[in-house]
Amino acid sequence: MLNFTVGPVMSAEDILEVANHSTPYFRTPEFSALMLENENLMLEFLHAPAQSRCVFLTSSGTGAMESLVMNVLNAQDKVLVINGGSFGQRFVELCALHCKNFTEIKLPFGRALKQEHLEPYAGQGYTALLVNMHETSSGVLYNMPMIAAFCRKNRILLLVDAISAFLADKLDMEALGAAAVITGSQKALAVQPGISVVALSPAALARVEENPELCMYLSLKEALVNGVRGQTPFTPAVTTLLQIHKRLTSIRESGGVEAEQRRISAVANHFRCGIQDLPLEQFSESPSNAVTALRPAKQNAKEIFRILKDEYQIWICPNGGIWADSVFRVGHIGFITEHDNSTLIHALHDLRQREIL
Ligand SMILES: *Cc1c(COP(=O)(O)O)cnc(C)c1O
């Protein structure tokens, strides 16, 4: 199958090879050394400020989202949540579940966040802001410099879910003044699912230190203490961590994070140029390089997904809920090339010929 979803995505051969062995024992100096390198490479690639730390949780990305809500936020916080789709909605539900004092800024699906959406909340005593840098459900990449300036001016702690943006879109934790940035293994890191990554600036570390413990498994305090010696409190997804190490070192060897971003951006642009003569409307404002959300003229997105899967061995990414028939997405992350794009574009032309598209 050719996989154009947004995760899990296809992995390179050398990454697949890592998983082709029994899981090694991990309470060893060798594994600790590898984990310390993972932490340093992540902090370097995120442009994290000095004295930042990074931990690896054995969970899907949602575990990292929940860990931020439980460990970095506290009962005194007044929180703003940007809600432009299902991942923004997930932050809203996490804040409600954990009884945070929060306000959501709800955006129409597929639309960008504008200064006028933020302005009413200036000078209102808000202390933290949660945002999914790329709202993967709609494909919108938010204007992070604008959000960062708002947070800086109003002394608001900026917490960024960059789960699908890391490696795909420009991300500089220090320039944004972000207190925390999270990502996950199965998006542009393009390895197996199972690990989420949490990077914390000194400001966020101080909060984790001071806040009461609310949870054992997702405790960032425990993860940080164990991380000092390159270990985790509980058995981690060892193989996924080995794959992350392989992937991070190979990114470093092939030009670094900027080169990887340029590669993903080129794959996205190649696809977007290639579909211009098809009856597919690019759905979202300010799209991320990670994904293109498309609206087919015949409003049969679910059907297109099924036919590409069953007859062409291609997975595109369906949308859920009320958008299931009107929108589908095509991912540009993972081990995917312009040649793969051409295979999909060819299949879409075939659907056009068959009057399905
Ligand atoms: C994929 C993703 C998540 C996490 O999803 P999981 O299924 O829990 O890994 C969170 N936020 C964004 C923006 C994502 O793209």
Q: What is the pLDDT of residue 189?
A: 98
Q: What is the pLDDT of residue 325?
A: 97
**117 within 8 A of 103, measured Cβ to Cβ:** no
**184 within 8 A of 163, measured Cβ to Cβ:** yes
**60 within 8 A of 193, measured Cβ to Cβ:** yes
Distance 352 CA to ligand 1 centre (A): 32
Report pLDDT digits (tens) over 39-77.
999 999 999 999 999 999 999 999 999 999 999 999 999
Angle of CA points 86, 92, 93, to nearest 5°:
90
pTM above 0.95, yes or no: yes
Q: What is the pLDDT of residue 331?
A: 98
Q: What is the pLDDT of residue 237?
A: 98
Report pLDDT digits (tens) over 167-225.
999 999 999 999 999 999 999 999 999 999 999 999 999 999 999 999 999 999 999 99
Distance 90 CA to ligand 1 centre (A): 9
Q: Does residue 88 have its Cβ closer than 6 Å to ligand 1? A: no
CATH 3.90.1150.10 matches 257-353: yes
Structure tokens that stand for 215 in this block: 């949870």
CA quadruple 266, 271, 273, 276: dihedral, nearest 10: -170
For the chain, domain boundaries:
14-253, 257-353
Pocket test for ligand 1, best of 6, 57, 59, 62 (most atoms within 8 A of CB): 62
Query: Buried b vs exposed e over 295-329: b needs ≥16 C-beta within 10 Å?
Result: bbeeebbbbbbebbeeebebbbbbbeeebebbbbb
Report pLDDT digits (tens) over 288-339.
999 999 999 999 999 999 999 999 999 999 999 999 999 999 999 999 999 9
Q: What is the pLDDT of residue 296?
A: 98
Q: Does residue 326 have its Cβ closer than 6 Å to ligand 1? A: no
Q: What is the pLDDT of residue 346?
A: 98
Nearest in space to 71 (alpha carbons), one of 82, 55, 85: 55
% the chain with pLDDT above 70: 100
Q: How far apart are CA 199 and CA 312, in angstroms?
A: 40
Residue 86 pLDDT level (bands cut at 50, 70, 90): very high
Give the CATH number of domain 14-253; options: 3.30.465.10, 2.60.120.430, 3.40.640.10, 3.40.50.1100: 3.40.640.10
Nearest in space to 185 (alpha carbons), one of 26, 41, 334, 13: 334
For residue 65, the ligand 1 atom closest to its alpha carbon is 10
Residue 252 pLDDT level (bands cut at 50, 70, 90): very high
Report pLDDT digits (tens) over 305-317.
999 999 999 999 9
Q: What is the pLDDT of residue 13?
A: 97
Assign 282 to helix, strand or coil: strand
Nearest in space to 70 (alpha carbons), one of 223, 173, 247, 178: 223
**167 within 8 A of 186, measured Cβ to Cβ:** no
Q: Does residue 318 have its Cβ closer than 6 Å to ligand 1? A: no
For residue 187, the ligand 1 atom closest to its alpha carbon is 1
Same fold, 14-253 and 257-353: no
Q: What is the mean pLDDT of the chain?
A: 98
Residue 261 pLDDT level (bands cut at 50, 70, 90): very high
What one-letter code names the amino acid at 223?
Answer: A
Distance 201 CA to ligand 1 centre (A): 21
Query: What value does the mean pLDDT take over residues 118-130?
Result: 98
Nearest in space to 5 (alpha carbons), one of 317, 311, 289, 337: 317
Q: What is the pLDDT of residue 259?
A: 98
